[in-house]
Amino acid sequence: MKNQKKLNRRDFIKLSSIASASLPIALSGFPVFAKEKPSNYQFTENNENVLVLIQLQGGNDGLNTIFDLNEYANLQSVRSNIIVPENELISLNGSTFIHPSMMGMKNIWDQEKLGIIQNVGYPDQNRSHFRSTDIWNSASDANEFVASGWLGRYFDMNHSSFPSNYPDAANPDPFAITIGKVVSETCQGVNANFSLAIEDPENPGTALVSNTGTIPGNCYGDALNFVNETIEQTNAYAEVIENAATSGANKSNKYTDSELSEKLKQVAKLISGGLQTKVYVVQIGGFDNHDNQVVESDTKTGKHASLLEELSEAMDAFQDDLALLNIDQKVLGMTYSEFGRRIRSNAGLGTDHGSAAPLFLFGNCAKNQILGDAPEIDTQVDDQEGVQMQYDFRNIYSTILTGWLGATKQESETVLFNNFESLPIFKLNCNATLTSDDINTNEPTFKIYPNPTTDFIVLNFTGSNAITKITLYNSIGAVVKMVANTLFDSSEHSIKIDVQSLPKGNYFIHYQTKGSSKTKKLLKY
């Protein structure tokens, strides 16, 4: 359930001195957490599907990652100092291109194992690294503070007493693993974090239980008992992790010596070694490029190009390894980043914090497609404007929960605090459990006029016999007005909106109904 008390990060740190705090205690590479226990839910986990998350820390510049030729000229006019020359780009389908450093991702695309979802974000975009990362990890609304993570709540549904008496005969393996030093907040449950942080699966390390004689029956004693129990638990998990790492293998020769490549190599080895862990999380940092994002004399190179190359090569090697190991049918990968960058570049050959950005899904069951519209680029864009959201990231989470991890729609709604419609991101006849009946694949008919305008606009659209949400946003992604949030039948509908009181500038109308989203730009004179 939602944490009713709103906490900022300063308040959160102040709470770390008591036993119920949710800050990590590092035990031989296994940070642990303690919080209040949740309600007991039921959840289905009867498949072998594995989810691998790749977090792009710092805010990836989606406009320097995916290019649409129809928007290239306008993009060049607002990013002339950093844009990659058109003749250097790699074509995916004739109109959509990727950065020249992403040849590895092009290989995955050609194998029909890569999905690109355009313009992914959330309403009222927060441009703080910490807060926006919290929102993505917790799947909360932008104005709500939730201490648990979306995957932690997923695991809580069947394992509300965790970590007490875990591992057990039915659950001998870790629920989630973060390859690195710190556990992922996506896996923070209400009672504990379900993720173990390890750096070397072949030598995960153990710790000794504290021998203090009689443990007092007070707050200190409760904390000491918790630490002792957690040490025993992590020691037990260390054994199964080490066994899987020893039993597993890597067969691809595509891995490089990059940090991300090594992390994904370890994930492949653990999966092939028989570890039944459901979720793996890896991170790659360095995407916060306010300056020197590119080399001025050769804009296809620079810091961002190097990061995209590392990401692309690591994904390609990982997917190749899974195929050679014959375990690729049960693994889905997903990238995410806290936000994209602004449309205009800055004078320092860089980009500043923005709004929405593309998200990548990869694996045998990922539908090979570019879902969504190319970001609309206006040569008159102001310095603050970012790419506007077309798809709420929680629609993707909902689809993964129900279509990959085995949740019902009602369970997904409990995990995500609301009903987020599924998207067509999986191939049919695959390990994914969604069918074509679960998703509306029809393109919505949605028009606005007059545009530009001075006093009003009219929205014309065809209903879908489903709840339809229509929202007016300003240029930085803040909600100006909720126009509609109700059920519309399948007939034609028209709504008039008065905008006389709005300041002059760029606005966006976002239309969302079952399985479909559209964003239209509006200029107010």
Same domain assignment for residues 270 and 358? yes
434: in domain: no
DSSP 461: E
Q: Left (φ > 0), alpha (ψ -120 to 50) or beta: where does 406 sit?
A: left
pLDDT at residue 134, as a whole number: 98
Same domain assignment for residues 401 and 485? no
pLDDT at residue 296, as a whole number: 97
pLDDT at residue 223, as a whole number: 73
Same domain assignment for residues 131 and 211? yes
Same domain assignment for residues 384 and 451? no
| Rounded CA separation 71/77 (Å) | 10
Same domain assignment for residues 374 and 514? no
Among candidate residues 400, 416, 432, the one where a domain is terminated: 416
232: in domain: yes
pLDDT, averaged per 10 consecutive residues of the chain (525 residues), comes to 39 31 35 32 62 98 97 98 98 96 98 98 97 98 97 95 90 96 94 91 66 71 71 81 96 98 98 97 98 98 98 98 97 98 98 98 97 94 95 97 94 95 89 54 79 95 90 93 93 94 93 86 91
| Rounded CA separation 23/4 (Å) | 19
Same domain assignment for residues 453 and 363? no
Q: Look up the domain containing 480 and give its range.
A: 446-524
Crossing angle (nearest 10°) for helices 103-110 and 303-324: 40
* Cis upstream peptide for 167 (omega within 30°): yes
427: in domain: no
pLDDT at residue 226, as a whole number: 67
Among candidate residues 397, 416, 435, the one where a domain is terminated: 416
pLDDT at residue 21, as a whole number: 31
Q: How many domains does the chain have?
A: 2
User: In CATH, what number is assigned to the domain containing residue 497?
Assistant: 2.60.40.1930
Same domain assignment for residues 128 and 242? yes
Query: CA-CA-CA-CA torsion for 12, 13, 19, 21, nearest 10 degrees?
Result: 40
| Rounded CA separation 192/180 (Å) | 18
Residues 6+ apart with CB under 8 A from 362: 108, 113, 114, 115, 315, 319, 332, 333, 334
9: in domain: no
Same domain assignment for residues 384 and 504? no
| Rounded CA separation 413/354 (Å) | 28
Contact 339, 354 (CB under 8 A): yes
pLDDT at residue 19, as a whole number: 31
Residues 6+ apart with CB under 8 A from 434: 399, 402, 403, 422, 426
440: in domain: no
Same domain assignment for residues 385 and 469? no
DSSP 210: P
Residue 194 dihedral angles phi and psi, to the nearest 5°: -80, 0
Same domain assignment for residues 467 and 397? no
pLDDT at residue 443, as a whole number: 66
